[in-house]
Structure 1
Amino acid sequence: MSTLHLRSWSGNADRPALALHCMMGNGVYWGPIAEQLHDRVQISAPDLPGHGQSPDWEEGASDYHTFVTRETATLIDRPLDLIGHSMGATVALRIAVAAPEAVRSLTLIEPVLFAAAPEAFNEALLDDVGARLAAGEDAEATRAFLSVWGGLDWESQTPSGKARLTRQIRLVQASNEALREDSANILRPDGLESIDAPVLIVMGNESPPVIPAIADALASRLPDVGRARVPGAGHMLPITHPRQVAELIGLNLDRA
């Protein structure tokens, strides 16, 4: 049984959906989307390890991405609609590749599988974050990362908020092998091609350039895929543009 804290919203119990949040977020932000889709699906959302109300991740036998994937997979006991944002989208994709029969539809919002399309600016940013962490400059590493991927003003954060984000930057670093090097082998031959559920890749129109490049790389191999951009949105669009994101998820639900 998963150790993750799981929250569920009211909805259509005959059609379960699982939503996976981004790094440094938590499952709460799926609430407005779950409410908008309540007549279609019943959304549940775990807090990933080290986030929200779930236990911290203690480095051990498996890397962070593998641990998250295993814990999340235990929440799936029948085919369902799988939704993921950012790092959560890469976990959703990993599950779909490993067990395509478990996925009714797959919605990937800003998937950060950097190995699919390495991009110079993003690679330099992540190298800089790693160097700052190695030097013990965790707060500066956090600020640098969030300036591109966070969609928030660091200076406006409370001291406790800054402390939480600074702890979680280590989880970003612990995900590098999976996201930058594809240590999980998500991109293996015939892997993406095995997903026969309808897939939708959703992006913000103002997201970092690596995101559309990743979307192109993934879409070129997925058998049944659509792509959508949300005008005026950046990487954190499930929080900033929940209505538009919910409408797009609904379109993909219809395709299943």
Structure 2
Amino acid sequence: MDYHSRRYGTGPRQVLAVHCTLAHSGAWRGMADALGDGLTINAYDMPSHGKSPDWNGKGDLHDLVTAWGHDMLSEPMDLIGHSFGAMVALRLAAEAPERVRSLTLIEPVAFAFVAADDPAKVEEYRLRNLDFDAAMKAGDKMQAARSFNRGWGNGTPWDEIPQQTRQYMADRIDFVAGSAPAVQRDSIGLLKPGALDVIKCPVLLMEGGDSDGTIAAANTALMRRIPQAQRVVLKGAGHMAPITHPKRVADEVRRFLDAA
């Protein structure tokens, strides 16, 4: 299956960036502009996102997104992922450590890791998302998208979001359910003993200070398993920090890459 990708910049240092659920590769534009010269940021649209073809619901969704990432990861590159994209980036680093020069995980939805270390925190998350689950069960994709956006959006009230954008999210909300085996139940095996030990490159974990507490627990769990990881908390930012606070995220990424 062909996929759509784009590049930002023309610098010699190659970066692969993996966007979050319900976004597309254009979400990296602000951060790419703020990073400035010296980098080429390569980004692709996940299945059913941007200009890539739709996921047909067959096979494992995380496998497909990761396969496209491996195709893009053609040489040693700095790897950046946001939210679900961060889990793809983490898997890429575990499966092809020789092609990952550094790893930046922004707001990783490592819920299976949280479940392993702090089950009560996952239960809090489940209770906060009962309305999303009910909407999905009822087949009300617009309501499900509204609920999802409430927890994981940029803070813009639903009624102020353009109708075209709301429809874009509703049309792709099945992607959230499709990602659950990997994100919530670790179908990809990253929790297996030693699975992350192969990651020897510098690692940066980033979260927004105003984000869901499950993300902080996720980064805590990842810190336990990736000893060399650094951690940055962006005060006043939330889950969509790469879009809402692109310069602040870029400043942290640039500082990290310069030292990596």
Greater displacement, 38-47 / 69-78: 38-47
Write out aligned runs for 1:98-137 (5 A). 98-118=95-115, 119-137=122-140
The one-character-per-residue Cα deviations of 1:75-109 (angstroms, maximum 9, x if unpaired) are: 11111000000000000001111111110000000
Corresponding residue number in structure 1 for 2:2: 3
Contact 1:201 1:226 in 2 (8 A): yes
Partner of residue 142, structure 1 = 145
TM-score by length of 2: 0.93
What do the CA deviations read for 1:141-195 (whole angstroms, capped 9, x no partner)? Answer: 1111111111232111233222211111110011011100000111221112210
Question: Retained in 1: the 8 A contact 2:2–2:53?
Answer: yes
Residues 28-82 of structure 1: per-residue CA shift (max 9 Å, x gap): 121122122232321111111111111111112x211111111121111111000
Q: Sequence identity of aligned pairs in percent?
A: 40
Q: Distance in 2 between matches of 1:239 and 1:158?
A: 17
Instruction: Kindly provide the amino acid, as one letter, of the partner of residue 9 in structure 2.
Output: S
- Rounded to whole Å, the distance in 1 between the matches of 2:159 and 2:167 is 12
Whether contact under 8 Å (1:11, 1:37) holds in the other structure is no
Name 1:78's counterpart in structure 2: 75
Matched residues in 1 for 2:251 and 2:93: separation? 22
Alpha carbons 1:195, 1:223 under 8 Å: kept: no
C-alpha distance in 2 between matches for 1:32 and 1:87:
19
Superposition deviation, residue 127 in structure 1 = 4.9
1:194 aligns with 2:215: no
Distance 2:10 2:235 in 1: 28
Q: Which amino acid aligns with 1:102?
A: R
**Counterpart AA for 1:8:** R
- Structure 2 Cα separation of the partners of residues 138 and 233 of structure 1: 27
Aligned partners of 1:99 and 1:111: how far apart in 2? Answer: 19
Contact 2:111 2:214 in 1 (8 A): yes
- Inter-partner Cα distance in structure 1 for 2:10 and 2:190: 31
Structure 2: gaps (5+ residues): 116-121
1:67 to 1:78, Cα distance in 2 relative to 1, 3 A = same
Given the superposition, is the C-alpha separation of residues 187 and 96 from structure 1 closer, same or farther in structure 2, using an over 3 Å criterion? Answer: same
Q: Is the 8 A contact 2:102 2:257 kept in 1?
A: yes
Give the alignment of 1:195-234 within 5 angstroms. Answer: 195-234=199-238
Moved more, 3-12 or 237-246: 3-12
2: CA distance, partners of 1:75 / 1:182? 23
What is the aligned counterpart of 2:169 among 134, 157, 165? Answer: 165
Match of 1:53 in 2: 51
What residue ranges of structure 1 are gaps of 5+ in the alignment? none
Could you list the per-position Cα deviations for residues 177-225 of structure 1 after superposition, in whole angstroms to 9, with x for gaps in the alignment? 1100000111221112210010000110100000110000001110311
Structure-2 separation of matches of 1:229 and 1:107: 13
SS of match in other structure, 2:102: strand
CA contact (8 A) 2:31 2:243 kept: no
Q: Following the alignment from structure 1 to structure 2, what is the Cα–Cα distance between the partners of residues 159 and 242?
A: 25
2:27 corresponds to 1:23: no
Q: State the Cα RMSD in Å.
A: 1.4
Aligned residues: 253
Distance 1:225 1:255 in 2: 13
2:86 to 78, 81, 89: 89
Q: CA deviation at 1:230?
A: 0.8
TM value normalised by structure 1: 0.94
Equivalent residue in structure 2 for 1:156, among 154, 160, 164: 160
